[in-house]
Structure 1
Amino acid sequence: MQTTLADFIKDTAIGREADAILRSCVHCGFCTATCPTFQLLGDELDGPRGRIYLIKEMLEGQPVSKRTQTHLDRCLSCRSCETTCPSGVRYHRLLEIGRQVLDERVPRSLTDRAMRFLLCEALPRRWVFKPAVRLGQWLRPLLPAALAGKVPAAAGSDSGPWPAPAGHRRRLVALAGCVQPILAPNTHAALARVLDRLAIELVVVPAAACCGALRYHLNAREKGRQDMRQVIDAWWSLLVGGQVEGFVMTASGCGEHVRAYREVFKDDPAYAKKAERISALTRDACEVLADERDRLRELLGSAGAFGGQRVAFHSPCTLQHGQQLRGVVESLLTDAGYQLVAVADAHLCCGSAGTYSITQPELANRLRDDKLAALTADSPTVLVTANIGCQMHLQGGSTLPVRHWIELIDERLRGGR
């Protein structure tokens, strides 16, 4: 793709980066076929190729408007297009640049700014988010259906027993997180129990809370970087002190973002090397268990017979597209004796996409309904996923339980039937 960037950006770092990405696109259109929003809306401008043209025109100095903003806002950042692209176009990065420039040129409405401010200030802070969730759960029967659907049903606060320290030589750190400890407290506890059986201790550092993705992707970039620096600072002393060997993620959205720290801080002299090392040592929980597969199979074999519960797995976009981890969770569940049902269009997003289900509720709910139809078509008894956002979004429209896959592995090891 030929480009002629405008003077205001062509000699800047992000301008040169955007220009290189634009020039890598051969506008073949393969991405359009796998784009969830294009499939829903049928508008070229609501697919990756159309959005690339909108960003190109903006960076070349063409007029932009609310219409441009609408089409870019509708993008899920699911990165399905990147999995499909034969040219390796870094679409997600181009979109980040495009949104950053667009927000500087097209002011958002007061309502939009207020909503984004509340999301940025409430969700990453557990001391704000937890009472807000509890209040919403208490008022849920009185809320309009559309709003009540965004409030998670009250869940048991019992996360199950956390294994007692056993002096394991190997130690991994899990991100404390922001919303997951409140909405799904059993996820980390289940991982801790599974790792304990594999002679690995799981450590959680409370100061390493939000990974920074939420605010960073809402264009509150410096606030997002503050969250990221806090995580790096909380983990760094453990790493350089030799107290831990790496970092394990149960939320694939957080995992994708922590792995991108190296990119975010590449030009920061104080954090570049730290971010590079932490990104390199970050793995999803499924990768850790896959590395221990032989021992895990032995443990599962000694756990007794199993009836083979029918399970439908939703692979989050941040797992299958962002981190390119496909088939790993499925193989672990199969090893554990679960019967995985077929899921049509498994590459498509469920509509959660961080805060997308709040900022774009109509599209998000349509995507969720389509995803649930695909997940339940072969009559599973439980739905599982690998990201807290997907878990809560799907549960909001499902009569079947939606759980994290590590909970099923944990139950098998504990003799569950």
Structure 2
Amino acid sequence: MQTDITAELLETPAGREAEAILRACVHCGFCTATCPTYQLLGDEQDGPRGRIYQIKRVLEGHAPSRITQLHLDRCLSCRACETTCPSGVRYARLADIGRAQVDAQVLRPIRERFLRRALVAVLPHLTRLRPLLRLARLVAPLLPPRLRAKLPKERPVGARPEPTNGRRMVALGGCVQAAATPQTNAAAARLLAQLGIDLIEPAGAGCCGAVAYHLGDRAAALDAMRGNIDAWWPEIAAGAEAILVNASGCGAFIKEYGEILTEDSRYAEKAARVAELARDSIEVVAAEDLAPLGRPGRDQRIAFHAPCTLQHGQRLGQRVEPLLTDLGFRLTAVPDAHLCCGSAGTYSITQPELSAQLGAAKLKALLSEDPELIATANVGCQLHLAAGTPTPVVHWLELLAPP
């Protein structure tokens, strides 16, 4: 694609990166076939090709409008388009650059500004999120049914094994996962202990930074990223084998730390090392000898939901499913498994109508063969799906961990 990006933008790293991405696009339209919002709305401007053209115009100096902002907001950043793109267009990165340019020129309505600031102020901060979650559970009977359904149910966390001073990995504690589904990291610690690995969560680490980054607060995101690097670095320096990330959305983001902080002279090298060490739980577990686990599945019928951040963001599709099958689980068929469930970080809050439609379609596919439970690999998907069905929804690590 030919471009005419403004000279001012071309003097910036983001402008040069955007130009390279745009020039790779041949506007073939293959991406529209896998775009969830295009399938829902049938509008070219709500598909990757249309959004690329809108971003191109903004970067070339055309003033964006509120309509431009709305079309970009409706994008899930699911990256299904990247999986099907024959030219390797890095659409998600272009969307980040485009959104930043549009938001700098178009003032959002006050309600949206308040909501986005509130999300950045609460979700990434465990000391704020946990008390609010406890309060919401206390007053749950008074909440509207739709909001009450979104409250994660309390479940036993289970014991965490003591370190043995053997092999060590660092775990991302996170924010929403740590507050809403703490059993995930506890299960990971027990499972890895059975495989001879200590899982350490260093004090001082927290949210990966993705919430703030994708809501446009780059300063807060960068602070979170640097804070995590500082917290993890002593363990990395001491020989930690990997940084285990049990939320695939966080994993996809942490693997981009090196790229995002490449202009930061103090952190660029460390960020690149962190990105290199980041591992999704399937990458860690699949690399180990699983003989000590036996066959925990015992023919239990499972529907596995592969989050977009796992199959498109990290390109780890079809990795969990065969592992579960090998361990004795019976996986049910899931039609259109490549499509997003509608969670997409904070999308279910900022775009509730579209998110609800996508969630209903995903649950219909997941429940089509009547599984006993649904397993997934990301806390956002887990909470979003659980709000719409009485069928239990768990992280797949919980299926393998000893009690």
Q: Classify the TM-score, shorter chain.
A: over 0.9
Question: What whole-Å deviation, never above 9, does each CA across 1:152-192 have from its counterpart, x for those lacking one?
Answer: 3x313x31111133332x10010111111221111111111
Deviation at 1:113, TM superposition (A): 0.7
SS at structure 2 position matched to 1:149:
helix
Which residue of 1 is the match for residue 193 of structure 2? 196
Aligned AA (2:154): A
1:237-316 alignment, distance < 5 Å: 237-242=234-239, 244-292=240-288, 295-296=289-290, 298-301=291-294, 307-316=298-307
Shift of 1:140: 2.2
Deviations 1:355-398 (A, max 9, x none): 00000000001000000000000110100000000000000101
Is the counterpart of residue 30 in structure 1 residue 48 in structure 2?
Answer: no
> What letter is aligned with 2:75?
C
Residue number among 295, 318, 322 corresponding to 2:313 in the alignment: 322
Question: How much does 1:128 deviate?
Answer: 0.8
State whether structure 2 residue 165 is matched by structure 1 residue 167.
yes
Query: Is 1:205–2:196 an aligned residue pair?
Result: no
Whether 1:348 and 2:330 are equivalent positions in the alignment is no
8 Å Cα contact 2:170/2:235 also seen in 1: no
What is the one-letter code of the residue matched to 1:217? H
Aligned mates of 2:384, 2:138 — CA distance in 1: 19
Q: 1:309 and 1:29 mapped to 2: Cα distance?
A: 41
Task: Report the equivalent of 2:323.
Answer: 332
Structure 2 Cα separation of the partners of residues 194 and 68 of structure 1: 47
Q: Is the 8 A contact 1:32 1:49 kept in 2?
A: yes
Residues in 1 aligned to 2:265 and 2:284: alpha-carbon distance in whole angstroms: 31
Displacement, 1:141? 2.1
Q: 1:240 to 1:300 in 2, by over 3 A?
A: closer
CA offsets 1:24-48 (integer angstroms, 9 cap, x no match): 1000000000000000000000000
Please list, as runs of the form range in 1=range in 2, the aligned pairs for 1:10-409 lying within 5 A after superposition: 10-152=10-152, 154-156=153-155, 158-168=156-166, 170-242=167-239, 244-292=240-288, 295-296=289-290, 298-301=291-294, 307-409=298-400
Give the alignment's TM-score, normalised by structure 2: 0.97
Tell me if structure 1 keeps the 8 A contact 2:205–2:227: yes
Residue 12 of structure 1 aligns with an amino acid whose one-letter code is T
Q: Distance in 1 between the 2:267 and 2:193 partners?
A: 32
CA distance in 2, matches of 1:272, 1:238: 18
Query: What's the TM-score once normalised by structure 1's chain length?
Result: 0.94
| Cα distance between partner residues in 2 of 1:13 and 1:287 | 32
Q: Percent identity?
A: 54
Q: Deviations over 1:26-80 (max 9, x none)?
A: 0000000000000000000000000001001111122311100000000000000
Deviation at 1:148, TM superposition (A): 2.7
1:176·1:206 contact (CA, 8 Å) conserved in 2? no
The aligned amino acid for 2:314 is Q
How many residues are matched? 403
In 2: Cα distance, 1:34 partner to 1:12 partner: 32
2:243/2:277 contact within 8 Å kept? yes
**Aligned AA (1:16):** R
Instruction: Say if 2:191 and 2:400, in contact at 8 Å, map to a contact too.
Output: yes
- Do the aligned residues in 2 keep the contact of 1:176 with 1:207 (CA within 8 Å)? no
CA distance in 2, matches of 1:48, 1:405: 31
AA aligned opposite 1:309: Q
Q: How far off is 1:197 after superposition?
A: 1.0
Q: What is the alpha-carbon distance in structure 2 between the residues aligned to residue 195 and residue 341 of structure 1?
A: 27
Whichever residue aligns with residue 161 of structure 2, its letter is: P
Say whether the 8 Å CA contact 1:352–1:389 is kept in structure 2.
Answer: yes
Quote the RMSD (CA, aligned, Å).
Answer: 1.3
**Secondary structure at the residue paired with 1:311?**
strand
- Structure 1 gaps of 5+ residues are none
Distance in 1 between the 2:298 and 2:225 partners?
A: 43
